[in-house]
Chain A
Amino acid sequence: MNKLDAALNFHQTALRVRNQRQELLASNIANADTPQYKARDIDFKSAMQSALQQTTTGNTTANAGAMQQTNAGHMTGQASNGYVGSNSDPLFRSVVQGSVDGNTVDMDVERNAYVDNGIRYEASLTMIGGQIKKMLSAINGQQ
């Protein structure tokens, strides 16, 4: 991983995990009236940790996220299309107030999480923007 990639890697990974979580929360809101649908979410901390591990152990950004084989007996893993690995599979949300049709979506919780996740996504964007500005000013010097 080159220095430029490494500088932006953390927030790039954070954006990817936030993206994935936003998608799951959108599914929960979309399925608010689907019988037997169970609301799901990812644990951001563990998803972020496993995603960071995947990207920092990869030698180039091309195989970032690919499973590393350090022994002949290891099975080949395939990097899923930019989604974080299996140790961050979505978990089911615990039910506070169940409904008669078996649906566990609590709209207040989901809306809250959706907005929260969106703001944190934008925070990461701002951080990346700041890093780019910092790098540009280092490149340009005192011009």
Chain B
Amino acid sequence: MSLFNVFKISGSAMSAQSMRLNTVASNLANADSVVSSDGKPYQSKQVVFKAVQDAANQSSTVEVDRVIEDTKPGKMVYDPKHPMANADGYITMPNVNVTEEMVNMISASRAYQNNVETMNAAKTMLLKTLNIGQ
């Protein structure tokens, strides 16, 4: 029954988008974390989506391929009183771009909503199919 596949497809997209929302939350929460567990400044994380094609039919689900760490250098801020300041009095801030993350957040939540609506429409169709001939 292929309408059930719509649930599978939209469900996979919803879990992928919520993972993206998770990384956004992590990035925004750590926008000022000068030290992370490895002693270096926090590095912004981004998810990479991948389409997985179903062999039996031509539809594709989504999965998170990998989570990458942004390698661009962080901003240097002059703060000689800070315990992490280097010899010149500068500290390296995390490379989180707050504006970019806010855009990412809105995009992820809108994509999530879209998939919820797709699922709802498929559910209505299925329920109507069950009522054939009544």
- Identify the A interface with B (CB < 8 A): 15, 19-20, 22-24, 26-27, 29-35, 37, 40, 80-83, 89-90, 107, 111, 114-115, 118, 121-122, 125, 128-129, 132-133
Contacts and interface: CB of A to CB of B under 8 A. Distances in A.
Contacts of B128: 122, 125
Contacts of A23: 2-3, 5-6, 9, 57, 59
Q: Which 10 A-B pairs have the closest CB atoms?
A: A30-B13, A132-B133, A27-B59, A34-B49, A26-B6, A23-B59, A27-B60, A19-B2, A26-B9, A34-B51
27 contacts: A20-B2, A22-B2, A22-B125, A23-B59, A26-B9, A27-B59, A27-B61, A29-B10, A29-B13, A30-B10, A30-B115, A31-B13, A31-B62, A33-B20, A33-B107, A34-B51, A35-B49, A81-B56, A82-B2, A118-B125, A122-B128, A128-B132, A128-B133, A129-B131, A129-B132, A129-B134, A133-B133
Nearest to A34: B49
A114 B2 CA distance: 15
A60 B33 CA distance: 69
Interface string B85-119: 00000000000000000000001100100110010
A39 B5 CA distance: 17
B57 A20 contact: yes
Q: Which of A23, A26, A89 has the most CB of B within 10 A?
A: A26
Contacts of A31: 13, 49, 51, 60, 62
Interface of B: 2-3, 5-6, 9-10, 12-13, 17, 20, 48-51, 56-62, 107-108, 111, 114-115, 118, 121-122, 124-125, 128-129, 131-134
A30 B60 contact: yes
B23 to A, nearest CB: 13
